[in-house]
Structures are given as C-alpha cells and as structure tokens.
Amino acid sequence: MKQPDRHAAATTEPTQYLTFMLAGEAYAIGILAIKEIIEYDSLTTVPMMPECVRGVINLRGAVVPVMDLQARFGRKPSPVTKRTCIVIVEVEATDGERQVIGVVVDAVNEVLDIAASDIEPAPAFGTRIRSDFMQGMGKVHGRFVILLDVNRVLSLDELETLGRLPADVAEPA
C-alpha cells in the first residue's frame, strides 16, 4: 500500500494567522513571523526616521524599531487607545539576517487557521494599501481578512531609502 505524501498533506493543512484590527479593517500576519505581543508603552522617538517609524523600544536589552502600519500604508497614524498593542515580528532582511520589528495595531483579535483554498490572490486594484504588501485575501467566517507579506511591509531597506529621500533631493546635482 502506498504511503501518503507528507509534503502534499502539509501544503493543504491550514496555516495559522494572527488577526488584528487597523482603522476598522481586519488584517493578518502568519503566526510563524510573530515573536510576541506586548502592551503599548512609551516609545523613544528617533530623529530623522521615516514618518511610519514611531520610535524604538527596549525589549529585554535590545533596541527594537516600532512601525505604525497605518502610516506605512500612507494613512493618518493610529491613535493610541486601551486596546493598542505592539506585535513583535521577525522578518528577513535582504542580507539574510533576521530583524525584529514592533508593529502598532489597534487591537489584536485571535489566531485563526486559514486553509490555502480559502486564500484568494491579492487584488491588483481597489485596495487601500499597496498590492505588493499583501500575500492575499483570506476568507474567514464569510468576510475577507487582508494577509500581509511582512517581509515587504516591514522592509527596513525600503524604509532606509525613504529616510534618505529628503537629503538626496536637497543635494545639488
């Protein structure tokens, strides 16, 4: 009797995502990228950072930049409320190193299993964020959840470029 292909079974199993809210919209990040969720506390602002970087926190002795996803999406920064959290995420930098970044979210919802069959491709238009920031749209309880591609959304290389733009523009050619 032929054994089932374990790899094929693994690809059809649901993937777990942490869901959260931003300005009334549901978003999700693959659970494997999530390190922890912490209470929003005071941040240390750093001069000359892109507008979407709110500042840095001290996380057990490590300096961790904290990004406001609302500002990253070109919207007004999120107001801080009692439910505001910082989701600590680990992303891959272009040099292959791992980078830890905090993400400000309005509220954390839950961890959900989303099957690959319930994920639609990211629409090319009609969304309020860049399509390259999205992995797809997950169908959960009859509603869509935007699945974020954390390596693109939280790309520090792109942010460094954004942070340098005003200086580059100001220099004479």
Give per-residue pLDDT as tens, 30-89.
999 999 999 998 899 988 888 889 999 999 999 999 999 998 888 888 889 999 999 999
Domains identified in the chain and CATH numbers = 13-160 (2.40.50.180)
Q: Is the pTM of this model over 0.85?
A: no
Give per-residue pLDDT as tens, 94-104.
777 888 999 99
DSSP string, 132-157: GGEEEEEEETTEEEEEE-HHHHT-HH
Other beta carbons less than 10 A from residue 38's beta carbon = 14
β partners of residue 154:
none
CA-CA distances (angstroms) from residue 141 to 11, 14, 107, 114, 138? 22, 15, 19, 10, 10
